[in-house]
Amino acid sequence: MKKDYYETLGVSRQASAEEIKKAYRQAALKFHPDRNPGNKEAEEKFKEAAEAYSVLIDQEKRSLYDRYGHQGLGGEGYGGFSGFDSSIFQDFEDILGNFFGFGFSSFFGEQTAKREQAPQSRDLALELEISLEEAASGIERELTINRNELCPVCQGSRLKPGTSKNVCPACHGTGQLRYQRGFFTVARTCARCDGSGEIVTTPCPECRGTGRMKQKRQLKFKIPPGVDDGVRLRIPGEGEPGDKGRSFGDLYLFIRIKKHPFFERKGRDLYCEINLSFSQAALGTKIAIPLLGGDSEMLKIPPGAQTGDVFRIKGGGLKELGGHRTGDLFVSVRVKTPDKLDKEQKALLKRLAELGGENLDQVDRSVLERYLKMVADERSDQ
C-alpha cells in the first residue's frame, strides 16, 4: 500500500504550497542519491518525496487525492510516478543551484533539462450521482463536458496559418542556457522558449497562441448494473488531446450513490426495517416487501416474532458488478407497541395478561431477582 503523501513530506493536510515546496526541498537534499551513494533506502525515499511533491503541488491533483486518495489519481495522468518528471526536477535544479552552485543536468544528463513545449494528453475526472435503483439496474446516461480541444484553425501548432516558428535567440535552439561553475557545467532550461528551442512570433489569432480551445462535448455512456459508491469508471479517449491530437487522455467518472429512504446497501446485499403490530408479531402474518426493481416479494412472519429478528429474501439484493451473483435482502422487524388504546382494547390486553399469569397491578420483581441471582453466582465463583 502506498504511503500517505502528506506523511511522506511531513506536512499537514492544510499545508500551503510554500510549505509543501519547502518540505520537498529538505527531503530532496537529505535523500539525494549523490549525497547517499549506494544507499537504496535513501534513493527510495528520494523518489517517494518527488512523487508526493508532484501531486501535492498541483492544485487539481491535490484536490483529487484529498477526496479519493491514491485511487483518485488514476495512473500517470493523475499523480502516477514513472521515472523522473522534468517539471518536478526543475524545482530540484533550483535547489542544487542555490545550495551547491550547479545545475540538475550535471546529475541526470541533458535529456531531463529540455521540456516538451506542446502539452501532453490529459485525463479528466468528474463526479456523477445516481440513485440506488439506477445502480441496481444499470443505466445509459448523456453528459455534456467542457474540455480543451485542438484549435480548429492552427490544429494545435499555436501558429498563425502560413507562418512558422523561429529559433529561440536566447538558447539558439538548444533549449538550454549553460554556465561554467568551477568543475561543473550549469545547464538550465531556457526561460524564453521554455526548453523547446523555438518561439512563436506570430501566434494563432483564434486561440491566442495556446493551441487549445474550450469546447462542449456530448457523451453517451452506459453504467453497468451493480456499481457501488466510489467506483471509478474509465471512458477511454474522452480526456483532452496531446501534441497535435495524436492521442487523447481518458475520462474517469467517480460514482456517487444517493442515500435511499428505505434500503441500506452493504456490497451486494440490501437491508431494511419494517414495523409489526403486537398482533402481527404474536400471531404471525404475511407482508409484501418492495424490491428495487419495482416488484415486491411476500415475506411470511412466523408467530412470536420479536424486535430484532431478521428474515432473508434470497436474490433481493443487487447484481455483482461484472459478475453473475446476486445479493440478498435482509428484513429486520421491530414490534411497535400501540400508544393509543380505547377502553375495550385496554380490557382485552389486560385479560390477555391475566391469562398469561401476569398481574399488571403489582410490581414486577423478575428483573431485580434475576440481577441479584447473577451477583450471587459471580461471588460464589470467586
More confident of the two residues 358 and 245: 358
Closest-CA residue to 17 (of 48, 60, 46): 60
**142, part of any domain:** yes
Given a cut of 60, whether residue 110 has pLDDT beyond it is: no
pLDDT tens for residues 94-104?
444 444 433 44
The winner for highest mean pLDDT among 79-93, 154-168, 255-269 is 255-269
Residues in Cβ contact with 7 at an 8 Å cutoff, skipping those fewer than 6 apart: none
With 80 as the cut, is the pLDDT of residue 16 above it?
Answer: yes
pLDDT of residue 183: 56
Q: Answer yes or no: do 245 and 339 share one domain.
A: no
Question: What is the pLDDT, as a whole number, of residue 74?
Answer: 58
- Greatest mean pLDDT range, 79-88, 153-162, 323-332: 323-332
C-alpha cell, 9: 513530506
CATH number at residue 228: 2.60.260.20
Length of the chain: 382
Judgement on whether residues 226 and 124 belong to the same structural domain of the protein: yes
The pTM (predicted TM-score) of the whole model is 0.57
Task: State the pLDDT at residue 285.
Answer: 95
pLDDT at residue 138, rounded to an integer:
92
**Ramachandran class of 183: left when φ > 0, alpha when ψ lies in -120 to 50, beta otherwise:** alpha
Q: How many of the other CB atoms lie within 10 Å of CB of 76?
A: 13
> pLDDT tens across 293-307, in order?
889 999 999 999 999
Residue 115 has pLDDT above 90, yes or no: no
Q: Is 284:299 a contact under the CB 8 Å cutoff?
A: no
CATH code of the domain containing 55: 1.10.287.110
**Element containing residue 104 per DSSP (H, E):** none
Residue 224 lies in a domain: yes
Same domain, 40 and 53: yes
- CA–CA gap between residue 154 and residue 202 (Å, rounded): 11
Q: Which residue has the higher pLDDT, 93 or 261?
A: 261
